[in-house]
């Protein structure tokens, strides 16, 4: 049979019990956009779609990432921003068999934070399906934070935006906190 449901950001884990007669779900997962303090930002979260085998009666745990409005990174792994930079967006994922990061069966990465500093737009990198995109200052030729991939997080950045010193890790984006400079959170 055919069943559709949509889950939006709530700030906490949501659950879905697999209905009887269902052995596969098609999941469309969107990571959260990164925060920004100007309106023309393009730091959108990633998108992933896949068919996932399931067992009727089992519980899936759904984590829907948050688009931050301030320095604190979005719920579910967004990196914090600092001073003029906004936090990165949180990832969205589905977990099966438990609620740890190791139980994730699909993940759409959140985007890096963006802002406006010293007369220049700072653009957060977009969230990934297989890989995210790099951030930049004013134009794509001026490098910023590094993108994450399926096997590692990207580095955050500060000061010159080509000095990647603030690494993310398993399940969270890089953050410039304690870099002592303007900085923007990773997705």
Q: How does DSSP assign 65-109, residue by residue? A: ----SSSSPPTTTPPP-BTTBPPPPPPEEEEESSSSGGGEEEEEP
pLDDT for the residue 114: 81
Q: What is the mean pLDDT of each run of 10 residues along the chain (187 residues)?
A: 87 96 95 82 87 97 94 87 79 96 93 78 74 76 68 62 62 62 55
In the sheet that holds 104-108, the strands lie side by side as 14-17, 59-63, 92-96, 104-108
Contacts of 78 (CB under 8 A, 6+ apart): 32, 34, 65, 66, 68, 87, 88, 89, 90, 91, 110, 113, 172, 173, 185, 186, 187
pLDDT for the residue 32: 93
pLDDT for the residue 157: 60
């Amino acid at each position: 049979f055919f069943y559709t449901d949509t889950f939006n950001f709530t700030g906490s884990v949501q659950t879905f019990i697999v209905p009887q007669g269902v052995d596969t779900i098609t999941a469309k997962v969107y990571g959260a956009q990164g925060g920004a303090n100007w309106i023309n930002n393009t730091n959108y979260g990633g998108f992933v779609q896949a068919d996932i085998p399931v067992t009727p009666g089992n519980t899936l745990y759904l984590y829907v990432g948050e688009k931050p409005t301030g320095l604190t990174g979005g719920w579910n792994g967004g990196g914090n921003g600092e001073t003029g930079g906004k936090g990165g967006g949180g990832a969205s994922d589905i977990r099966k068999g438990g609620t740890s990061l190791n139980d994730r069966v699909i993940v759409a990465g959140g985007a890096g934070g963006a802002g406006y500093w010293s007369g220049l737009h700072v653009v957060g990198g977009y969230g990934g399906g297989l890989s995210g995109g790099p951030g930049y200052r004013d134009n794509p030729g001026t490098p910023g934070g590094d993108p994450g991939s399926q096997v590692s997080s990207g580095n955050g950045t500060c000061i010159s935006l080509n000095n990647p010193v603030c690494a993310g890790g398993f399940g969270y984006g890089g953050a410039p906190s304690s870099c002592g400079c303007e900085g923007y959170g990773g997705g």
